[in-house]
Amino acid sequence: VEQRGMVWSDRVWFGKRNGLMASGKGHLAGGMIFALIGLHLFAHYLYVPTYLDMVLYVSLALMFAVWPDVDTKSIGQKFFYSVFFLTDCYLIFHEEYELAAYLGLLIILPILAKHRGWTHSIWAMFLIPSPLLLYPVLKGGSLDAFTLSGVPYYASALTGYFSHLFLDGKFKPWK
């Protein structure tokens, strides 16, 4: 069934041309819904996060809700490549040339892939946000510093990434 440039397929709205998913707005809306559900479950079953933590969790979920489309012209691509560019400029300004070069190498990988390629894979959903788990180790300077403090951030990013793949039809629990 087609309505206003959208296709209803398997109970999921898929964007055609300039539809909700194609523009990224649908993924942001879906990411927000999934983030709020996750936040509700988290607050009722684990611990009640501070307001700042809640903002960070929802922000991460929204960022990762648009990340898989970084391989095509989208809201996610504009946002992440702006962040990458500013980070690279910062590294160069501070004469961290080797780090800047590695970052530059890594950030071109999504552009070299086809749309809905590896950025839309289940393994990428788990791997791409994994640095959030390692942040406490990097901050503490040793493996002894590893704690579970990165888990809520990782879970938030995972929730956003999952929402994107779900809305793109990667997971079809009704089949």
pLDDT digits (tens, 9 = 90+) for 78-101: 888 898 999 999 999 999 898 889
Tell me the pLDDT of the chain averaged across its residues: 81
Length of the chain in terms of residues written: 175
CB 157 within 8 A of CB 132: yes
Residues contacting 120, CB < 8 A, separation 6+: 68, 164, 165, 168, 170
Q: Report the pLDDT value the prediction gives residue 18, as an integer from 0 to 100.
A: 45
Positive or negative CA dihedral for 53, 58, 60, 61? positive
Please give the full DSSP string across 111-174, using - where no structure is assigned: HHSPTTSGGGSHHHHHHTTTHHHHHHHHHHTSGGG--GGGHHHHHHHHHHHHHHHHHTTS--TT
Residue 125 has pLDDT above 80, yes or no: yes
Indicate the pTM of the whole model. Answer: 0.76
